[in-house]
Amino acid sequence: MPPRPVPAPAQTTAWLRPAILALTALLLLTWFTGEIADTDIWLHLMTGRHTLETRALTVPDPFSYTSSIDSPAYPGEARTRYFNLTHEWLAQIAMYLVYSATGFPGLVLLRALLLIAFCALVGLMVWWRSQGFLRAVAAAIAAGAVAINFQQSRPFLVTFVFLAATMAILERRRWMWALPAVFLMWANMHGGYFMGWAMIGAYCGEALLDRLRKRPVEGERQLWMVAVASFAASAINPNGLRVIEIMLNYRASGIQASNLEWQYPAFWEPSAYSFVLFGSLLVMLLRRRETRAADWLLLLVFGAASLLAVRNTILMGLVGSVLLFAYLPSWKRALPAAATYAAAAALIAAAGLHWRSGDSFQFHEAAWQLPVRAADFLAEHKVSARMFNTYANGGYLVWRLWPMQKDFIDPRGLSEQAFADYQHILQYAPDVNALLDKYGIQVIVVDGFDRFSGQVRGLPIALSDPAQRTWKLVQADERGMVFMRNPPAGVQPLNNLQAIGSIEFACKEQLDRDPSHPGCANGLAQVYGSIVGDRARAAQWAAVYESRR
């Protein structure tokens, strides 16, 4: 039985509801138009361009010289690599076309529009179920509060919108035959299409339970036919139906195990995610006599999936927000008209506060995180010798320097062996020189610390030691450093100790631009205290960290 409709609110001015919808859209726009800080963007653009130019998938990988290492760390690593190279090809072409036509403003707006569409579908489904205007708006905002952590210009946005559209179509049982076409596009834009199988499965499961209970099931035949057709359509992609195997392989991957987005979420901490997760469970238990079987299946499947990885928490932004606000008990009396005016005022205030934070309408890339001048130096001097680079910056360096340069590693994580060696090199393990020789590395492009944890890299600290003579510092600023074995003719090496100064400048900028991640100050305190032996400097950075954390 669907939830009971809420009482109609008191009569309000005709323009007020459209105004609230516009203000909600404005609030979401301020939330979703932050600068492009996700460094995956560069490889998506590069891959889209390469696919268009060659009229072929990027296999074998042309951008990294370590991606073809044939020493699998687990069975199926080669198939996982192929999947990572091919499963987003259509979305990458679309991203590159948008970028070619509009630059970064178009990519930021596209991201915002996709996330707003996701939130709008959540609100629409709550409206269908309850006819409650304000609760539908609240559901859309709750979904946005979860989705704000996913405002990255990446193909996974397609999964969010298509998953919400699939749920909406199944809710209304209209436009059902659009789903096979949706799944065909989806399966060639992002690997998350298999979550659509789970969505359809929940509604098919409800139909099956109703049949066993001898209840009439409207459109059951069509539902099953569409489910089969959608499943078959999603197999038409470069990887067929291998996506489940790949997801299992990710759990065996050392690369994914160290990736923040694949860690388990802190569901016990107060957040929009925990609010919709536990809130939806609570209201469904309270109104268990009125709940639908499909809703319990959705909560079970998508709630469990959201607990497996940080990147899956968006699933409860969809399912949890719909269930929470659809089943939320309503007031026995209609809300006064003043409540609608209060909601409008609250939306204006919230949008204004977020705009004042400086994180809205940033139609550009986060250049302060990128080794721009390092890339300029390599391009100016036409340095083509083999390069070692950090994981996050590989894509940007390829975007700037390919085909003259290929990267050592990048966020696609194509070789487990290369990633393991990367970690050893970056932290300057005892065998680092042998590893550098193994890959024939002549150039090192490195930043000073991890921007999330604040851990200072061991490699630039070790190379800053005046006693080491092999590597010369040739370029250094707050965005990165370049060390070379043999600097180009006419280039006078810098004092290697300037590397530590570069890390300090980078940390100061990190504290100014992203004060929520002050760990670099603690990392510098440890470096000065335990490695450099400058206790006064260590105390200064420790004080900065204590004041910021």
Q: Per-residue DSSP letters for 354-390? A: HHHTT-SS--SB-GGGS-HHHHHHHHHTT--S-EEE-
> Which whole number is the average pLDDT over 118-146?
96
Question: Which helix H or strand E contains 446, and what residues bound it?
Answer: strand 443-446
Domain ranges (residues) in the chain: 367-548
Element (H, E) at 210: helix 194-212
* pLDDT of amino acid 18: 93
Mean pLDDT of 106-112: 97
- Of 123, 431, 438, 392, give the one whose Cα is nearest residue 259: 392
The answer to whether the beta carbons of residues 408 and 422 sit under 8 Å apart is yes
Element (H, E) at 445: strand 443-446
From the number of C-beta atoms within 10 Å of its C-beta (0-12, 13-18, 19+), residue 185 rates as middle
The number of beta carbons lying within 10 Å of the beta carbon of residue 258 is 13
Q: How far apart are the C-alpha atoms of 93 and 96, rounded to whole Å? A: 5
Chain centroid to CA 352: 25
Cβ(369)–Cβ(450) below 8 Å: no
Residue by residue, DSSP assigns 124-174 as HHHHHHH--HHHHHHHHHHHHHHHGGG---STHHHHHHHHHHHHHHHHHT-
End-to-end alpha-carbon separation of the chain, Å?
49
Give CA–CA dist 65/68, Å, rounded.
7
What's the rounded Cα separation, in Å, for the pair 184 and 180?
Answer: 6
State phi, psi for 504 to the nearest 5 degrees: -65, -45
Q: CA Rg, the chain, in Å?
A: 26
Distance CA(521)–CA(541), nearest Å, equals: 5
- Which residue(s) pair with 480 in the sheet? 477
Q: What is the Cβ-side half-sphere exposure of residue 540, based on CA atoms within 13 angstroms?
A: 7
Angstrom distance (rounded) from CA 412 to CA 40: 8
Whole-prediction pTM value?
0.94
Where helices occur in 307-371 by DSSP H, the ranges are 314-327, 337-356
The residue count of the chain comes to: 549
Cα dihedral sign, 389-390-395-400: negative
- Mean local confidence (pLDDT), 513-541: 93
Residue 354 neighbours by CB under 8 Å, 6+ apart: 27, 30, 31, 360
CB 549 within 8 A of CB 518: yes
**Dihedral of CA 360/362/363/366: which sign?**
negative
State how far the alpha carbon of 202 is from the alpha carbons of 14, 171, 190, 225, 298, in Å: 39, 11, 21, 15, 6
265: nearest Cα among 195, 327, 199, 317? 317
pLDDT band at 420 (very low <50, low <70, confident <90, very high): very high
Q: Could you give the C-alpha distances from 458 to 107, 354, 521, 532, in angstroms and in order?
A: 35, 37, 15, 13
Spatial separation of the C-alpha atoms in residues 161 and 154, rounded to whole Å: 13
pLDDT at 72: 84
pLDDT in tens, 23-54: 999 999 999 999 999 999 999 999 999 999 99
Q: Can you tell me the mean pLDDT for 266-291?
A: 95
Six-digit token pair at 524? 């510098």
DSSP state of 407: B
Query: In which band, very low, low, confident or very high, does the pLDDT at 352 lie, cut at 50, 70 and 90?
Result: very high
Task: Note the pLDDT of residue 70.
Answer: 75
- 407: β partners: 64
Q: Which residues of 5-29 are buried (b: 16+ CB within 10 A; e: fewer)?
A: ebeebeebeeeebebbbebbbbbbb
Where is 481: in which H helix or E strand?
strand 480-484
| Contact between 398 and 63 (Cβ < 8 Å) | yes
pLDDT at 262: 85
> 216-220, 373-377, 465-469, 504-508: which has the minimum mean pLDDT?
216-220
User: Which range has the worst mean pLDDT, 86-95, 139-148, 430-439?
Assistant: 430-439
For residue 4, pLDDT over 60 is answered with no
pLDDT (0 to 100) of residue 1: 47
The predicted-structure confidence for 317-350, as pLDDT tens digits, reads as follows 999 999 999 999 886 666 677 888 899 999 999 9
pLDDT at 476: 96
Q: For residue range 199-212, what is the model confidence (pLDDT) as tens digits?
A: 999 999 999 998 88
* Confidence grade of residue 300 (pLDDT, cut at 50, 70, 90): very high
Which residue pairs, CB below 8 angstroms and at least 24 apart, start in 176-182? Answer: 176/219, 176/222, 176/223, 176/226, 177/226, 177/229, 179/226, 179/229, 179/230, 180/226, 180/229, 180/230, 180/232, 180/233, 181/233, 182/230
Return d(Cα 369, Cα 41) in angstroms, integer: 13
Segment 73-95 shows an average pLDDT of: 94
pLDDT band at 256 (very low <50, low <70, confident <90, very high): confident
- The mean-pLDDT minimum among 7-16, 198-207, 219-228 falls in 7-16
257 or 327: which carries more pLDDT confidence?
327
What pLDDT band is residue 413 in, cutting at 50, 70 and 90? confident
* Mean pLDDT, the chain, whole residue set: 93
- Contact (Cβ atoms closer than 8 angstroms) between residue 519 and residue 502: no
| % of residues, the chain, pLDDT over 70 | 97
SS3 (DSSP) at 449? strand
Pairing relationship of beta strands 443-446 and 472-477 according to DSSP bridges: unpaired
